[in-house]
Structure 1
Amino acid sequence: MTTSLELCPPPLIPRETLFGNPEGDSARVSPDGARLAYLAPHDGKQSVWVRTIGARDDRVVAHDPVRPLPWATWQGDGRHILYLQDRAGDENYHLYQVDLEGGAPRDLTPGEHLRALPLALDARFPQEALVTLNARTPRLLDVHRVNLAAGLAELDTENSGDVIAWLVDNALVVRAAVAQVAGGSYVIRVRDGASAPWRVLDEVAFADGAPRLVAFSSDDRALFAISAKDANANRLVRYDLATAERVVVLEDPEYDVERVFVDPATHDVVAAAVCKERLVWAALTASFAEELDALRVVDDGDFSIEDASADGATLIVRYRHDARPEEFYAYDRARHRASFLFCSRPPLLAYELAPMRPVAFPARDGLPLRGYLTLPVGAAPRRLPMVLYVHGGPWYRDRWGYEPIVQWLANRGYAVLQVNFRGSTGYGKAFLNAGNREWAGAMRTDLLDARDWAVAEGYADPARIAIFGGSYGGYAVLTALAWTPDAFACGVDIVGPSDLRTFLAAIPAYWEPMRQLLTERVGDDPEFLKSQSPLFRAPSIRVPLLVVHGANDPRVKQQESDQLVEALRGSGVPVQYLVFDNEGHGLAHPANLKRFAALAEAFLAAALGGRIEPPQPDEAFASFLC
């Protein structure tokens, strides 16, 4: 017997509502706590806007008519905004400065084929910024000190050739680094000042993972880091710089510490969060416990502290939910009061979104696997068409919270299963290391086990399951279809590598310090890599495949998709190939994302039988098909 709910599917959510520009994102507070900078659309592209908190005087201060701006923040003087931009997705970011009182933006890191990323900004040093920049040699990111008044960047700290991360102290001096040394292990190096020699504070085995530098203590006598040394999961630890003694500050036996908040008023580490099924914060000082309690009351979403004023009196807090878009608040610590700033996508509030629930099941070898299941609204949860949505990285993890791809698929009638397969982060080093050199091995079979679990539980119709993913997730799509041709009805591969040999031979120059990590986690023997590459099993693929790539992808070159599509077409496999000339590793332009979604929606419906929104005039994709 059917219910009325089953007979009344929810209205189709327009692709524009799901994939168009968010109306507000990435909020940052000015050093004095009076104004807000945020990303929002202007003439169709994400731009930087500024407004007074509590007023409606919003105005655009930075805009690129060609490409969306991905990141912006305040300069310490409160008069300038700093932002990043690359060219057509090449990820060679430059740091720009714009004066709120007028004038053209200034490129602070000019030059060709350079990659600049912010390392440190501090309102106590309003005319300085530290950036990592590969100006001296393409493969190494040195630290440069930028004079923000003069617009000049000078070499500050040279990379010795093995450094993969840097940290500055409270005087804006580079005093800590993480390096991967011969043999693959990591060392934390520190020094007592800008002219002092480096020394090793600690050594960390490769199996423990790369330690993550967090902050110096307020007196600069201790260093906080996140590390799994002598533990399974990443812990927050404190090193005494004089004695090298290491003390555990926060730990969980199974899940990694993921976030840390440093109070800008005191420069103390006052809170940290562990990502379990959801994000769980813990206060590290008695005084900040009251703030966390107040933030938990504001909203039932998972929150993160995105920014703070220079005196720490105003916090910018983002709340993430599974079935509604993100929301941003300004929190007044003196009054313990939160003020709503904006919702990222207000039009979505008119629709009923699908809740996401945590799931767990064993892999075929008994390893516990965890993930999230999203079921379509208005449908009985039995024998549904399903999409197995595979995250990229692969050293990443799916999390609870709103995800536009997931909600799009659920709204079209599909169950969506996301699994954190072995090799994913967040679940401790044993789980991470279980994925070493298993890209087409146990990592692949974990995905098959997730599929089989959904079928056994009755959620999924075994004849109507697709696999869909980007980057490593795209590679996982290809291996699933090549190794087990009958397991899925179709696949969607976005920027996935097809031949691990050509992929690793073409990594960006600035990834070279990570070469040992790639060797240990992926492999280096050419015959082994060939055996793990779906390109050489392409004739085994029998179901329809949609392949998508950005022509300027610096991580996974377009060659990876070109050679795959050529092999598939030579074998008579039905494949559609979509290439965007103005994209890199993924789709940054909402217009391209909507074009892709329009094509993918019809593609999935043909194989699985889901719902389709009629094509819109601005979603034409034929000219991008190859």
Structure 2
Amino acid sequence: MLILLLCITNTPFTAPAQTSKVTQLPVEAFASIPDVSHVRLSPNGKHIASLLLDDTAEVPHKIVALFNTETGQFHIPMKNDHEKFMIANLTWASDEILLITALMPSKRFGKNANESLLIKYNLSTGEAGSVLTKKALKRFDSIPQYQGDVIDLLPKDPEHILLSVSGFSKRVSEPTVIKVNLYNGSFTTEQYYREHVIDWMTDQQHRVRIATYQDRDTTEYRIYEQSEANGDLRLLWKSEAYSEETVIPLGFDVNPNTLYVKAYHEGFYAVFKVDLTDPKLKKELVYKQDNTDVHATLIHSKVTRQAIGIATGDDNEYHFWDKNYKKLVNRLKAALPDTQNYLTQFSHNERRYMVYATSPTQPGLFLYGDRDANRLEVIAAKYSQLTPALLVEPQQISYEAKDGLEIPAYLTLPKGIEAKKLPTIIFPHGGPHSYVSDSFDYWTQFFANRGYAVLQMNFRGSTGLGYEFKKAGMQGWGKAMQGDVDQGTRYLINQGIADPDKICIVGGSYGGYAAMMGAAMNPGLYQCVISFAGVADVEDLVKLSRFYTTHELTKKTLGDDYDELYEYSPIRHADKINVPILLIHGDNDKVVQVSQSRDMYRKLDALDKPVEYVEIENGNHYLSNNQHRLMTFKAIEKFLATNL
């Protein structure tokens, strides 16, 4: 564990000098979960809560830690039973109450599932307990599976929060909004559940105003508005999932009739504001980016409650329209010129704040700022074992797909080695409705540190590049999406960067699918394959979705022609995979069932193919456990060393 206090007031931040010689870091430096994460500032700015990696324990795991910004005192308020649950998030409900979200495995309807529990910790008494007490849970028809969805912290009412939970009817899973007392566990119902409503949003007056409706028998979404909780719902917008008519509410201004939304503008997501008293609901453009989607989160002033800006995504930090905040951002950039600087939190009077600074080669620094004292301090490093000087900045490149579509990509080269005929990792991202950027990525940096060139591409279907680009990937698994990945491999060979005899394709989730499919459909192009939690049988994936509320959405994105889905599944073409393949999967994966890798292993083994299989006991889809991550990376390192 590391808490580093270093005053850098009025001192420009500079990265260490780059070295030309490659230094190989231990696998633990990349494969350990963050030393520090989920750093949260209390409303009065006096305490900082965080999750720390307790690497002194027999089994390293996350623990909650508290730091007093005024006295400098640091202590561990509570020890958690990491074998029963995993801490996932921290939130300050008030200066006295810290909320802790924990995840734990369970059974639902005979199937493995995850549940979330919301725990309250009282700084004054040192007591901890569930927000929803046993007495409170007796009022439910069934125990809520997810208890951590806080939709409003009610900052003017430190004794209560608004919690969105299901469990008030055995027939429906739609959420009800309750007002919970954080001290005695009693609650009152603010908003009763409504059929097909999957989400509620409050305004700045803390009234339940916006309902998001999903018809599970179709793929239609609707956005409704009401003047007060349990009022008459007024339809604002409706659209099909993944359509260009999609409108996503972001939040209200202090004016209860001004709603900010995300919608498409000239083919790309942008931010608008809408006057709800306007019968035509005209959208006024607030912010857009050229040829890029805006991944927006609305930011409010804690003092005035006004909307003051938006967080625009991993690569663009913030866009403020308030001049005072613009000044603060400019000062941060002057002090930290080499990093992207995210203002993650303010105290209630906005005089104290938290900053997260990162870059492609800076794994992350947490800073505490005091505007009155003109002070900015680094308080922790996210990954203490990773030295920025030994990391590599990705190069943004592009290449043409077979049909001429430009595919944006990132190429990361090992430090100090000529970019000529290098052993290479082709690394398609998961999702597939996701994207890659030049943000710090511990997988990529691990591969580069081991001497491999790494290619990551935003194949068609990736998000962030507009509606048409995302639409081009609909029902495209194994087709043009796959071609985009494989064409990137050929591009690196033609450029003389990749050694054609030393290329391994690696991926997780959808990326694991693309890795297996790439080897099956391109004999000789790849020399080995690594799939972490990969999809091997797309037909089975779609059929399994029948037991979940996402079935219609799954069919829309993947298709429902089962013969075709099986034809574009790696397991169908296992006989064509003639190179070593490593399969890794957690047996507690709720996103991609472990049966996908088990079935693929059996098929390959029966065909006498060179396959290795590592199954992680109690492992999930995200390698949240420190030992699981380390086990995975060691298996990958050994496999690559042997086969490349």
| The two structures share one fold, judged by TM-score above 0.5 | yes
Say if 2:377 is the partner of 1:377. Answer: no
Q: 1: CA distance between counterparts of 2:505 and 2:411? A: 14
Do structure 1's residue 248 and structure 2's residue 285 form an aligned pair? yes
Deviation at 1:522, TM superposition (A): 1.2
Match of 1:413 among 446, 451, 460: 451
Distance 1:154 1:464 in 2: 63
2:64–2:76 contact (8 Å) kept in structure 1:
yes
Deviation at 1:328, TM superposition (A): 1.1
Contact 1:507 1:554 in 2 (8 A): no
Q: Paired residue for 1:78? A: 96
TM-score using structure 2 length: 0.87
Alpha-carbon distance between aligned partners in 1 of 2:115 and 2:307, rounded to the nearest angstrom: 32
> SS at the partner of 2:362?
coil
Once the two structures are superposed, what CA deviation does each residue of 1:525-572 show, in whole Å capped at 9, x if it has no partner? 222322222221111111111111111111211111111111111111
Tell me how far 1:13 sits from its aligned partner: 0.6
The answer (yes or no) to whether the contact 2:175–2:198 under 8 Å persists in 1 is no
Point out where structure 1 has 5 or more consecutive residues left out of the alignment.
1-6, 609-626
Deviation at 1:517, TM superposition (A): 2.6
The equivalent of 2:130 in structure 1 is 106
Q: Is residue 2:376 matched to residue 1:338?
A: yes
Amino acid at match of 1:25: S
Question: Residues 273 and 22 of structure 1: is their aligned pair in 2 closer, same or farther, counting only changes over 3 Å?
Answer: closer
| Residue matched to 1:64 | 81
Which amino acid in 2 is paired with 1:224?
Answer: Y
1:619 maps to none
Q: Could you tell me which amino acid in structure 1 is paired with residue 39 of structure 2?
A: A
User: Which of 169, 175, 184 is residue 219 of structure 2 equivalent to?
Assistant: 184
Report Cα offsets for 1:369-393 as digits up to 9, x if no partner.
1121111112111111111112111
Secondary structure at the counterpart of residue 85 of structure 1: strand
Identify which of 227, 231, 235 aligns with 1:196: 231
- In terms of mean alpha carbon deviation, does 235-244 or 159-168 score higher? 159-168
Q: SS state of the match for residue 93, structure 1?
A: strand
Rounded to whole Å, the distance in 1 between the matches of 2:464 and 2:358 is: 18
CA contact (8 A) 2:238 2:246 kept: no
The whole-number CA distance in structure 2 between the counterparts of 1:139 and 1:382 is 59
Length, aligned pairs only:
598
Deviates more, 1:146-155 or 1:427-436: 146-155
Instruction: State whether residues 32 and 78 of structure 1, in contact with CA within 8 Å, keep that contact through their aligned partners in structure 2.
Output: no
- Give the corresponding residue for 2:116: 93
Letter in 2 for 1:128: H
Q: Per the alignment, do residues 132 and 527 of structure 1 end up closer, same or farther by CA in structure 2, a change over 3 Å counting?
A: farther
Moved more, 89-98 or 381-390: 89-98
Of 271, 274, 280, 1:236 maps to 271
The answer as to whether partners of 2:362 and 2:388 remain within 8 angstroms in 1 is: no
The whole-number CA distance in structure 2 between the counterparts of 1:32 and 1:376 is: 45
One-letter identity of the residue aligned with 1:259:
A
Matches within 5 A, 1:185-584: 185-206=220-241, 207-208=243-244, 210-228=246-264, 230-243=265-278, 244-260=281-297, 261-275=299-313, 278-279=315-316, 281-299=318-336, 300-333=338-371, 337-349=375-387, 352-507=390-545, 512=549, 514-584=550-620
Deviation per residue, 1:125-170 (Å, 9 max, x gap): 3233333434245973413323322225665445544334432112
Helix, strand or coil at the partner of 1:397: coil
Instruction: Report Cα offsets for 1:455-476 as digits up to 9, x if no partner.
Output: 2222211221111111111111
Answer whether contact 2:427 2:455 (CA < 8 A) is retained: yes
1:340, CA displacement in angstroms?
1.8
Equivalent residue in structure 2 for 1:115, among 146, 156, 163: 146
SS in 2 for 1:279: coil
CA distance in 2, matches of 1:488, 1:530: 23
CA deviation map 1:50-88 (0-9, x unaligned) = 111254322122423325422111122433333232238
Q: Distance between the aligned counterparts of 1:505 and 1:134, measured in 2? A: 26
Which letter does structure 2 place at the counterpart of 1:81? L
- How many angstroms apart in 1 are the aligned matches of 2:76 and 2:414? 38
In 1, the alpha carbon distance for the partners of 2:293 and 2:519 equals 32
CA contact (8 A) 1:306 1:317 kept: yes
Q: Which residue of 1 aligns with 2:109?
A: none
1:214-252 alpha-carbon deviations (Å, 9 max, x no partner): 111112111111121x53111111111111222111012
Query: Deviation of residue 337 (structure 1)?
Result: 4.7
Structure 2 gaps of 5+ residues are 1-18, 107-111
Contact 1:77 1:127 in 2 (8 A): no
On the 8 A contact 1:256/1:274 being kept in 2, the answer is: no
- Alignment partners' CA distance in 1, 2:246 and 2:376: 37
